């Protein structure tokens, strides 16, 4: 595994590899090699120099410990990296070493390295989001008519369907995916501006080189360098924050519905999954726990990034230098949450019988609103509310069902016939337009309309 033990609950195998030391070096070398190749094609440096730079572009001989030490001495990755690369090339060909990093600045290689890492992260994130969406859509379809308690302020409320709940989860994740893809599309742009963002070292050929370099690296080419304009990355970090919070909402629901006292859902089990070191009976909702851990961490990371966006003039002192670890942590935490909830949803067990039992355990109290509305048209809402409120109190104190109590109140039996009272606590008769909402959510019809 590329991750460390201390980070193992905050990332995934795939994303740990993306942000590993070797992957960072590979991305930085890709930038330098691409720059040399482009400049050689345009006649700015010699073909032989570009070939030597390209042939030296492997990560194997970089001393990570020395590079790390020197980064602290220069407050940037770019300076010691370029120095180390230049020394390696000089040992092979002194003339070619003169053209390493030609026309670029340290922030160009550092920022573009980060962008290339984000580019590698994109299919990982979107792949797991796709898995999650398919799993939630399956749950929403399979449980279209599975009735369960609605819960408001953690208390039992009129019934809903589990299909509607799962469709609500799905719709939120879909909206987040749209935001994430848009933010990634805008963020995956080249950074190439030279010392102060003018590419003066390349004279009038700066844009020509920049466009060719962006094409070589398969990145977008911005209107101008963005050394201290971090809004694109800020939007991406915020999109991750909203996605992770939405995943946390799904995870919170699953955790609550998995409690032994509720027992309506359970995450997939298996060897080594969800167990306890001391309580053999435990089956913990570990996927949801991992997602909630990410949802706890990411908001502060988002705030940290937004604070660091206030940067000085053409090169920041402190703000830019704080970003690498923040962005890497946000992407990995988001990816950890997506993967964890996807795995949980793919194997989620729904106990339909338990859902029915939990409805029955309310003694019909969750249908108090229904009874009030039926009476209201004849008695007025205020009088109906008082009658039903008194009836619910009697139901609780006497241990009777709400329907039993209602049958003993003349004002109610004079208004509602026996058939209406008999069907009052049938949950399928009080679902409103739950099914229509479920279908709209699955079809993506909950967005703004003109």
On whether the CB atoms of residues 100 and 315 are closer than 8 A, the answer is no
On whether the CB atoms of residues 148 and 362 are closer than 8 A, the answer is no
Q: Give the pLDDT confidence of 44-101 residue by residue, as tens digits.
A: 999 999 999 999 877 777 889 999 999 999 999 999 999 999 999 999 999 999 999 9
State the catalytic residue, choosing from 58, 276, 307, 325.
276
Domains of the chain: 18-102 (1.10.275.10), 120-206+216-359+432-450 (1.20.200.10), 365-424 (1.10.40.30)
Kindly tell me if the per-residue pLDDT of 337 is higher than 50: yes
Quick check: is 252 catalytic? no
Q: What is the mean pLDDT of residues 154-167?
A: 97
What confidence score (pLDDT) does residue 188 get?
A: 98
State the catalytic residue, choosing from 37, 232, 297, 315.
315
Quick check: is 428 catalytic? no
Written as six digits, the tokens of 62 are 């970089």
Task: Between 1 and 23, name the one with better pLDDT.
Answer: 23
Band (1; pLDDT cuts 50, 70, 90): very low
**In the chain, what are the helix, strand and coil shares in percent, each to the nearest 5?**
65, 5, 30
What confidence score (pLDDT) does residue 5 get?
A: 83
What confidence score (pLDDT) does residue 279 get?
A: 45
């Amino acid at each position: 595994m590329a991750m460390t033990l201390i980070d193992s609950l905050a990332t995934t195998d795939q994303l740990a590899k993306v942000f590993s030391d070797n992957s960072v070096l590979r991305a930085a070398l890709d930038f330098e090699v691409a720059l040399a190749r482009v400049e050689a094609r345009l006649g700015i440096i010699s073909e032989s120099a570009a070939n030597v730079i390209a042939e030296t572009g492997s990560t194997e001989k970089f001393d990570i410990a020395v590079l790390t030490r020197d980064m602290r001495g220069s407050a940037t990755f770019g300076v010691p990296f370029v120095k180390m690369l230049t020394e390696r090339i000089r040992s092979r060909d002194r003339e070619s070493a003169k053209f390493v990093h030609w026309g670029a600045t340290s922030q160009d290689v550092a920022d573009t390295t980060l962008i290339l890492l984000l580019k590698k992260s994109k299919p990982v994130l979107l792949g797991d989001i796709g898995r999650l969406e398919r799993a939630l859509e399956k749950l929403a379809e399979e449980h279209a008519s599975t009735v369960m308690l609605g819960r408001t302020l953690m208390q039992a409320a009129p019934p809903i369907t589990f299909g509607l709940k799962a469709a609500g989860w799905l719709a939120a994740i879909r909206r987040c995916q749209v935001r994430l893809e848009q933010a990634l599309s805008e963020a995956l742009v080249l950074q190439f501006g030279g010392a102060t963002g003018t590419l003066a070292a390349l004279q009038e050929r700066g844009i020509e080189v920049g466009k060719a370099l962006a094409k070589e690296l398969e990145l977008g080419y911005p209107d101008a360098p963005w050394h201290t304009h971090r809004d694109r990355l800020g939007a991406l970090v915020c999109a991750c924050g909203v996605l992770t919070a939405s995943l946390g909402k799904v995870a919170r629901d699953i955790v609550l519905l998995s409690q032994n006292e509720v027992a309506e859902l359970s995450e997939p089990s298996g060897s080594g999954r969800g167990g306890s070191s001391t309580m053999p009976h435990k089956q913990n909702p570990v996927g949801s726990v991992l997602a909630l851990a990410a949802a706890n961490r990411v908001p502060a990371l988002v705030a940290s990034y937004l604070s660091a966006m206030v940067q000085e003039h053409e090169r920041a002192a402190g703000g830019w230098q704080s970003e690498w670890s923040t962005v890497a942590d946000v992407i990995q935490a988001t990816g950890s949450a997506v993967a964890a909830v996807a795995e949980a949803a793919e194997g989620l067990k729904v106990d339909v019988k338990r859902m029915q039992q939990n409805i029955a355990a309310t003694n019909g109290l969750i249908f108090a609103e229904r009874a009030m509305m039926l009476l209201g048209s004849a008695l007025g809402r205020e009088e109906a509310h008082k009658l039903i409120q008194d009836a619910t109190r009697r139901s609780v104190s006497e241990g009777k069902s709400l329907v039993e109590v209602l049958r003993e109140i003349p004002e109610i039996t004079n208004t509602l016939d026996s058939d209406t009272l008999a069907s009052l606590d049938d949950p399928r008769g009080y679902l409103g337009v739950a099914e229509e909402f479920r279908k709209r959510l699955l079809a993506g019809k909950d967005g703004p309309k003109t």
